[in-house]
Amino acid sequence: MKKYELLAIFKPNLDTEDVDKLIDKIGSIITDFGGSVESVDKAGRKKLAYDIQNFRDGFFSTTILSLPADKVAEFKRQLRLNDNILRTMFLEVSQKAGV
């Protein structure tokens, strides 16, 4: 399994409880696909550099996860289907070279 980093921006009109439920739902999707969540960092509500869907700010969350490579495309599709997520950035975490 490879290690990935997911940055998700949620709609600002959600309560913090709703954002926590969405983050838990993303975690359950990851475990359903045979992966694991290593850490979740909730950065809170921040101003966006430009409007996304007429929103000027959003709730930011960064998740470090491990996921099988064959499940990545389906996981990204599940994220796009959620209407409460404004934007995502999904990156593969590279291993640093040892000297």
* pLDDT top residue among 46 and 95: 46
Q: What is the pLDDT of residues 8-58, one digit of tens each?
A: 999 999 999 999 999 999 999 999 999 999 999 999 999 999 999 999 999
Predicted confidence (pLDDT) at residue 98 exceeds the cutoff of 70? no
State pTM to two decimals.
0.88
| Mean pLDDT along residues 67-73 | 93
Per residue in 76-90, is it b (16+ CB within 10 Å) or e — as a string?
eebbeeeeebbeeeb
* ∠ CA 96-62-10, rounded to 5°: 150
In a domain, 84, yes or no: yes
State residue 91's pLDDT score.
93
- Read off the CATH number of the domain in which 84 is found: 3.30.70.60
4 close to 37: Cβ distance less than 8 angstroms:
no
In a domain, 97, yes or no: no
In a domain, 7, yes or no: yes
Number of domains into which the chain is organized: 1
In a domain, 98, yes or no: no
In a domain, 99, yes or no: no
In a domain, 68, yes or no: yes
Residue ranges making up the domain that contains 58: 2-92
